[in-house]
């Protein structure tokens, strides 16, 4: 079951009218803000749900899985909106990794939301699944969290686990859809060779090019979950949109995901995080740099720039993390400059960095740990056996083609014509 509302023409017309009045009154040729461009106004699932009277939730007893990213386009929290929605009984909250406020980089305890007074059960503490005790008295779970488009971002597993438990207890699951910030057209890398895990819930490519609503449909069918699933679809979002084209406010989805640039680079640089390198946590630009005390940044930058990787350049860089890996230690490394996001290939880039670190620094770089997030041992073995720089995409192209065919059944949104 899916839920859709009517179009957003009235809001877009209002925006144009305000712009015309401003120009007329002031005599200035003032360009309307990009966020109010009539072609670029996107309503997320919570916007559509609220506008259309919370219809899928009428008369329901609701548990809300959310965090600080669960807001409408005006910055109002989904918690507030559901708490005050006529005909909706919001009974309890659930928080994912990083907690309800998205501030923690550690296991999260249960707590109480000071604004709503509601109990907050952590799904990143003693359990990663809602328990029968947590679900008692509910008939509906609502999911409203901003994903970033990379398989090993754990919010997807939180969604999948919640759907599984909802099916066992015959609860409805309502997903309030949100944009994939790095577009719904860019798909890269091999599907994982393991699944059901917290950083690899389902065998999708590392960069999957789907929204949480689309993935919920895929999980429900392909994993045989069979829960009662309602997707509150966005309006105005097209598959080829980047987040900065939506007009929606950017909220850091987690403490170290602070910009769209970092979300774009994350599948490449984050791929190295299990290894003995810093990926910039504890600095002002996490996932835009990598380094370690044993890395010669000049040598590494020269080797990487010599590969001619599309869309990126590398600058030698030294930094001292104030937190996380190599805290307080001077690290050599590279700053990654994203110069063309449309040409950038995160898997070619991430695996090329891993190979060059192995070639330059040998045993100091524990390359085998790349598989902790790649989840495809066969691909990693081919990378390790390569005698020199090469293109890695052919290693998984057949698997990727098969996934793209499967994925087509679950897509909701078209690209711009």
CB 246 within 8 A of CB 40: yes
pLDDT, the chain, mean: 91
**C-alpha torsion 108→109→112→113, nearest 10:** 0
Residue from 120, 148, 110 nearest 252 by CA: 148
Mean per-residue pLDDT, 269-285: 97
For 249, residues 6+ apart whose C-beta sits below 8 A from its C-beta are 71, 73, 75
pLDDT value at 12 more than 60: no
**C-alpha torsion 116→148→6→70, nearest 10:** 10
Element (H, E) at 212: helix 212-222
Q: Which CATH architecture does the domain made up of 260-273+276-365 adopt?
A: Alpha-Beta Complex (3.90)
DSSP class of 162? H
Per-residue pLDDT tens for 347-406?
999 999 999 999 999 989 999 999 999 999 999 998 888 877 788 999 999 999 999 999
CB atoms closer than 10 angstroms to residue 179? 26
Question: Can you name the residues that pair with 140 across neighbouring β-strands?
Answer: 62, 172
Note the pLDDT of residue 30: 34
Say which range, 39-43, 141-145, 240-244, has the weakest mean pLDDT: 39-43
Mean per-residue pLDDT, 341-345: 98
pLDDT value at 31 more than 70: no
Residues of the chain with CATH 3.90.1150.140: 260-273+276-365
pLDDT value at 25 more than 90: no
CB atoms closer than 10 angstroms to residue 240? 14
pTM of the model: 0.90
pLDDT value at 10 more than 80: no
Note the pLDDT of residue 417: 79
Q: At what angle do helices 346-361 and 297-305 cross, to 10 degrees?
A: 130
Note the pLDDT of residue 3: 62
For 10, residues 6+ apart whose C-beta sits below 8 A from its C-beta are none
Residue from 4, 375, 44, 42 nearest 178 by CA: 44
CB 182 within 8 A of CB 215: no
- Ranked by mean pLDDT, the top range of 6-10, 219-223, 361-365, 387-391 is 219-223
Residues of the chain with CATH 3.40.50.12170: 42-241
Element (H, E) at 88: strand 88-95
Residue 413 burial by Cβ neighbours in a 10 Å radius (0-12, 13-18, 19+): buried
Per-residue pLDDT tens for 76-128?
999 999 999 999 999 999 999 998 998 888 889 999 999 999 999 999 999 99
Per-residue pLDDT tens for 164-214?
999 999 999 999 999 999 999 999 999 999 889 999 999 999 999 999 999
CB 229 within 8 A of CB 140: no
pLDDT value at 15 more than 90: no
Mean per-residue pLDDT, 312-339: 97
42-241 has which fold? Answer: Rossmann fold (3.40.50)
pLDDT value at 33 more than 80: no
Put the strands of the sheet holding 172-176 in their side by side order: 2-3, 228-232, 172-176, 140-144, 60-66, 88-95, 119-122, 111-112
Per-residue pLDDT tens for 131-171?
999 999 999 999 999 999 999 999 999 999 999 999 999 99
Note the pLDDT of residue 309: 97
């Amino acid at each position: 079951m899916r839920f859709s509302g009517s179009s957003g023409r009235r809001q877009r017309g209002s925006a144009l009218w305000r712009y015309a009045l401003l120009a007329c009154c002031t005599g200035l040729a003032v360009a309307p803000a990009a966020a109010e461009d009539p072609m670029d106004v996107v309503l997320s699932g919570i916007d559509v749900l609220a506008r259309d009277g919370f219809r899928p939730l009428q008369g329901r007893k609701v548990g809300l899985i959310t965090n600080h990213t669960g807001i409408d386009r005006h910055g109002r929290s989904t918690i507030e909106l559901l708490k005050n929605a006529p005909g909706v009984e919001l009974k309890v909250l659930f928080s994912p990794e990083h907690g309800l406020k998205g501030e923690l980089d550690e296991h999260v305890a249960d707590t109480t939301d000071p604004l709503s007074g509601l109990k907050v059960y952590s799904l990143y503490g003693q359990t990663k699944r809602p328990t029968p005790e947590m679900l008692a008295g509910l008939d509906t779970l609502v999911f409203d969290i901003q994903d970033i488009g990379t398989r090993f971002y754990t919010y997807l597993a939180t969604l999948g686990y919640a759907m599984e438990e909802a099916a066992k207890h015959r609860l409805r699951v309502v997903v309030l859809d949100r944009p994939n910030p790095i577009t719904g057209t860019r798909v890269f890398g091999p599907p994982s060779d393991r699944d059901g895990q917290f950083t690899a819930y389902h065998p999708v490519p590392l960069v999957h090019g789907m929204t949480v609503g689309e993935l919920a449909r895929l999980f429900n069918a392909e994993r045989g979950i069979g829960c009662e699933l309602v997707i509150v679809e966005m309006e105005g979002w097209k598959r080829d949109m980047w987040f900065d084209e939506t007009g929606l406010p950017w909220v850091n989805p987690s403490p170290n995901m602070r910009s769209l640039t970092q979300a774009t680079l994350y599948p490449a640089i984050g791929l190295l995080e299990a290894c003995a390198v810093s990926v910039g946590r504890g600095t002002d630009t996490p996932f835009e740099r990598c380094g370690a005390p044993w890395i010669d940044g000049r040598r590494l930058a020269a080797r990487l720039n010599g590969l001619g990787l599309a869309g990126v350049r590398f600058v030698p860089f030294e930094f001292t993390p104030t937190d996380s890996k190599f805290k307080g230690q001077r690290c050599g490394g590279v700053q990654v400059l994203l110069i063309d996001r449309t040409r950038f290939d995160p898997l070619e880039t991430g695996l090329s960095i891993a190979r060059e670190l192995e070639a330059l620094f040998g045993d100091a770089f524990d390359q085998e740990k790349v598989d902790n997030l790649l989840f495809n041992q066969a691909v990693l073995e081919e990378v390790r056996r390569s005698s020199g720089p090469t293109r890695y995409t052919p290693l998984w192209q057949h698997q990727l083609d098969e996934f793209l065919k499967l994925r087509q059944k679950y897509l909701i949104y078209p690209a711009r014509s």
